Amino acid sequence: LIEPHLEHHFGQFVNLSSLRGSHQLIAPSSLLNKQPKLFVRVPASSLLSRKSRVGLMSSPSTPSTPSPSDSRAAKQAVLNQKWLEKATYDNTVVFLLENLEKLNCPFSLSSSARIQTCPPTHTGGFSMSASDPHIILCSNNIPDYASFHRTLVHELVHAIDKCRSKADWADVRHHACTEVRASGLSGECKWGVELSRGNLAVVGGWEKCVKRRAKLSLGHHGRDGERAVEEVFGV
């Protein structure tokens, strides 16, 4: 089952059929029984220092001391790996993975969810590469499991939009469309999450949040999403 807040909003999002063709963005509901294996990229371990030789004697090799930032990054990557494993049993994640498979776009978290270090402004991303589509999860910018889950769902929504409706990210309206859906379906605009950001709007708060975050995502790609988001919201 999809989470209640997603089920409530599932019919309220723009779809690309209004922009091009007859494809629908919303996928049918059922659950996968498969539990994908996990994959994570963890920074390489530190190298041993070379032996120093004095005459015929040599001192034992000692590992180089990793910097504090490297240690934190390695620990955070391992923590994100555990969160990824936990997420594979989450109803919403399973729902999205199953529908990708039904759309003939099977998406395996074992090979297509990649944990890595990113710039400070990013928590995740989706690669549209035809030969290697994948999700990026930014371990250095994701502080807890709730944030990790929202980021993973956000990027999986992009994957569904790309597969089912052939979303064209070069078209700013298509890009705005999928950002609106991802922001709304991921849970990142729940009242409690918005409250933690200091946004106290009660009436119309969810809509304001979805639009704001969709525009923010477009801005990260160097696009002015103000007009495009307003045009596609609710289409």
Task: Say how many CA atoms lie within 13 Å of 30 toward its Cβ.
Answer: 10
CA distance 92 to 164: 18
Q: What is the DSSP string of 88-99?
A: TT-HHHHHHHHH
CA distance 119 to 153: 20
**Which amino acid appears at position 219 of this protein?**
G
Buried b (16+ CB within 10 A) or exposed e, 126-135: beeeeeebbb
Name 213's Cβ contacts closer than 8 Å, sequence gap at least 6.
179, 183, 188, 189
CA distance 160 to 153: 11
Q: Is 230 a catalytic residue?
A: no
- 126: phi then psi, degrees, rounded to nearest 5: -130, 125
User: What is the token pair recorded at 34?
Assistant: 């498969």
CA 59 to chain centre: 48
Cβ(80)–Cβ(100) below 8 Å: no
- From the candidates 7, 85, 101, 155, give the one annotated as an active-site residue: 155
Catalytic (active-site) positions: 155
